[in-house]
Amino acid sequence: MKKVKPPVQNLLQQLQRDLPAGVVAPSRWLSSLGISPQLARKYVANGWLVPLAYGAYAWRGRTDSALPVVDWQGVVLSLQRLEGQAVHVGGLSALNLQGLAHYLPLGGEAHIQLWPHAKIFSRAGLPRWVAQVTEKGFVPQAFVLNKALFGAECGEAGLHELPTRVREWGLLVSAPERAILEVLCQVGEDEASFTHAVELFEGMTTGRPPVVQQLLEQCSSIKTKRLFLYLASRLDYPWLKGIDASRVDLGSSIMPITKGGRFNKQFNITVPRGLDAQSF
């Protein structure tokens, strides 16, 4: 029996029900609703949708509203909820969202840090429309997709949802324990990068030992794990007593981190000279 397509009006009603204002609608998701590219263009012509990029749309919204058609959270929610991408907001971006960063640049972040988590992630990376919504000026932030830091066994440990302005949709982000590991993974050889990581780590006063233990055991970066344990021990956080470092693979070779830094024998890393010579 030939499949009967739903009336166009019913499709528009379904779209209004399923697509929150401010969230990007990828054409692939629209097609899953039965909305063809031709019909999407008709919705644009009638003033219901705004074309953001090739293969991406959003509700036009009220013309008297000061709110943008979409924002960066609307992009990430689309990736997580509509595209089925296994990505989360992590690192510094996650700490900023949770009020754990010391400062925000004037005008907010220039780059939103995204990370793949334990589910299968497409090797093709983010859809092309993600970069285009920035290039076309709909969203001022650019999106950076980092390499996965944890193995599949880690699952969604250290991830949680934060509420958004979009209905009941939560934004999947790294909890502080996972976010600080993602920050440490990006520490470069310059002293400023290390110092900034220390400032952020000083906010880790309430780490959860079971979560930290699982993350450390599943983290694929030796450098990141050494830095984490080095800073936690220097700051002497009480929750560190609940961590069994013997179960964490720290490797054995010497690892220069800070260029021209002082060698720390306990963790086989080089750290800024002034930092290692004094108490925090």
The full set of domain ranges for the chain reads: 8-174, 187-275
Beta carbons of 186 and 223 less than 8 angstroms apart: no
Q: Is the pLDDT of residue 277 over 60?
A: no
Q: Is the pLDDT of residue 69 over 70?
A: yes
Check residue 4 and give its pLDDT. 44
Supply angle C-alpha 12, 16, 20, rounded to 5.
Answer: 145
Calculate mean pLDDT across residues 80-104: 91
DSSP class of residue 80 equals I
- Residue from 270, 229, 271 nearest 249 by CA: 229
Instruction: Write b or e for each residue in 167-190: b if 16 or more Cβ atoms lie within 10 A of its Cβ, otherwise e.
Output: eebebbbbbbbbbbbbbbbbbeee
CA dihedral 167, 172, 175, 176 (to 10 degrees): -90
Check residue 6 and give its pLDDT. 54
- Residue from 86, 113, 118 nearest 215 by CA: 118
* pLDDT per position as a tens digit, 130-161: 999 999 999 999 999 999 999 888 888 999 99
Task: Give the C-alpha separation, 24 to 133, whole Å.
Answer: 9
Check residue 280 and give its pLDDT. 45
Task: Give the C-alpha separation, 33 to 12, whole Å.
Answer: 10
Express as a percent the part of the chain with pLDDT over 90.
76
Who contacts 65 (Cβ-Cβ below 8 Å, separation ≥6)?
none
Beta carbons of 197 and 257 less than 8 angstroms apart: no
Check residue 142 and give its pLDDT. 96
CA dihedral 207, 210, 213, 218 (to 10 degrees): -110
Check residue 1 and give its pLDDT. 46
Check residue 155 and give its pLDDT. 80
Q: Is the pLDDT of residue 279 over 70?
A: no
Check residue 156 and give its pLDDT. 87
Check residue 125 and give its pLDDT. 85
Task: Give the C-alpha separation, 274 to 258, whole Å.
Answer: 12
One-character DSSP codes across 13-52: HHHHHHS-TTS-EEHHHHHHHT--HHHHHHHHHTTSEEEE
Check residue 120 and give its pLDDT. 52
- Residue from 182, 220, 21, 155 nearest 96 by CA: 182
Check residue 130 and give its pLDDT. 97
Check residue 109 and give its pLDDT. 80
Structure tokens belonging to residue 76: 């990430």
Calculate mean pLDDT across residues 103-117: 79
Who contacts 153 (Cβ-Cβ below 8 Å, separation ≥6)?
118, 218
Q: Is the pLDDT of residue 227 over 70?
A: yes
| Averaged pLDDT score across all residues of the chain | 89
Q: Comparing 146 with 122, which gets the higher pLDDT?
A: 146
Number of Cβ atoms within 10 Å of the Cβ of 58: 24
Q: Is the pLDDT of residue 194 over 90?
A: yes
Check residue 101 and give its pLDDT. 84
Q: Of 36-45, 215-224, 240-249, 269-278, where does mean pLDDT reach its minimum?
A: 269-278
